[in-house]
Amino acid sequence: MKILVCENYDKLSEKAAQLIMSQITLKSNSVLGLATGSTPIGMYKKLVEMYENKMIDFSDVITFNLDEYQNLPIDNDQSYHYFMDENLFNYINVKRENIHIPNGMAKDIKKECIEYDESIRKIGGIDIQVLGIGNNAHIGFNEPTVNFEKKTYVVELQESTRIANARFFNSLDDVPKNAITMGIGSIFKSKKIMLLAAGENKAKAIYDTVYGKVTPEVPASILQLHDDVIVILDKEAARLLNPVDYSVV
Ligand code: GLP
């Protein structure tokens, strides 16, 4: 696990966007695994700027998002479909047919899960997966639990996650109770993983992810076992880490 600590959120976003740009420069038809949440928004803004400055071409890029709420129509402004359009896809030249986001409205949700993993497999796997992290160390919507889920599945959201995400909805009651998410196994198969975290409220989750026991109780701790993980933090999220374990950039 390589850990970079940036002066502030803006630098973190810049660094993350540069890594995505390098990936696409090296392989124009890269398969990107994308995340939602507030953390990657700065990175998406930088990617849009890079695209506008003709530094990146997304025309051959393929994307797979981590997760989506269940039973939230895609035109709801809190759906992750809507989020991705508003923060990235509407402003770059990615082809619509190359965008994949789990369909939380699917009638046959089990089939949707199986097909989602199958689409990732057919394309040859994810080249770089972007991850945020929940306060409880969830990744995608893999909540702390008793076993690592191998495949894309439907998860019941923990109350703490619903409360954390309620800030984007009118009320807690509006936050869906379930989501469809790539499983830990689906995420782990990605060739590279880039985990982003900013702010003091992520410091404990980052500490447990980096130093803790590898356990499904701390879903992100599995990343300790992956060969190619880069963690990009701001100073606040890195507060509990030993400075010998990271580089300041
Ligand atoms: C949601 C998403 C996660 C994200 C997390 C943290 O639960 N499903 O992918 O990492 O929120 O969000 P934020 O970056 O807003 O703290």
Tell me the angle at which helices 9-26 and 41-52 cross, rounded to the nearest 10 degrees: 50
pLDDT band at 2 (very low <50, low <70, confident <90, very high): very high
Classify residue 246: in a domain, yes or no: no
Question: pLDDT tens digits, residue range 118-139?
Answer: 999 999 999 999 999 999 999 9
Provide the CATH number for the domain around residue 31: 3.40.50.1360
* Selected catalytic residue, list 87, 98, 103, 136: 136
Single pTM value for the model: 0.96
Average pLDDT over the chain, rounded to whole?
97
Q: How many domains does the chain have?
A: 1
Q: In angstroms, rounded to a whole number, what is the distance separating the alpha carbons of residues 147 and 81? A: 28
Question: pLDDT tens digits, residue range 160-177?
Answer: 999 999 999 999 999 999
Q: List, in order, residues 6 or more apart from 183 with CB less than 8 Å away.
A: 140, 142, 148, 149, 150, 151, 152, 153
Whether the Cβ atoms of residue 43 and residue 196 lie closer than 8 Å to each other: yes
- Taking the C-alpha atoms of 38, 40, 42 and 47 in order, what is their torsion angle to the nearest 10 degrees? -150
Ligand 1 contact, 219 CB (< 6 A): no
Classify residue 202: in a domain, yes or no: yes
Ligand 1 contact, 66 CB (< 6 A): yes
Q: In angstroms, rounded to a whole number, what is the distance separating the alpha carbons of residues 113 and 116? A: 5
Classify residue 239: in a domain, yes or no: no
Minimal-distance CA residue to ligand 1 atom 12: 37
Classify residue 38: in a domain, yes or no: yes
- Taking the C-alpha atoms of 88, 136, 129 and 167 in order, what is their torsion angle to the nearest 10 degrees? -10
Question: pLDDT tens digits, residue range 147-164?
Answer: 999 999 999 999 999 999
Classify residue 11: in a domain, yes or no: yes
The per-residue pLDDT for 14 is: 98
Classify residue 106: in a domain, yes or no: yes
* Selected catalytic residue, list 68, 112, 138, 234: 138
Classify residue 16: in a domain, yes or no: yes
pLDDT band at 3 (very low <50, low <70, confident <90, very high): very high
The per-residue pLDDT for 118 is: 97
Ligand 1 contact, 65 CB (< 6 A): no
Whether the Cβ atoms of residue 24 and residue 127 lie closer than 8 Å to each other: no
Place of tokens 């797979």: 64
The per-residue pLDDT for 238 is: 98
Question: pLDDT tens digits, residue range 44-98?
Answer: 999 999 999 999 999 999 999 999 999 999 999 999 999 999 999 999 999 999 9
The per-residue pLDDT for 64 is: 98
135 is catalytic: no
Question: pLDDT tens digits, residue range 226-245?
Answer: 999 999 999 999 999 999 99
* Selected catalytic residue, list 117, 143, 149, 234: 143
The per-residue pLDDT for 78 is: 94
67 is catalytic: yes
Give the structural domain span for 135.
2-228
The per-residue pLDDT for 91 is: 98
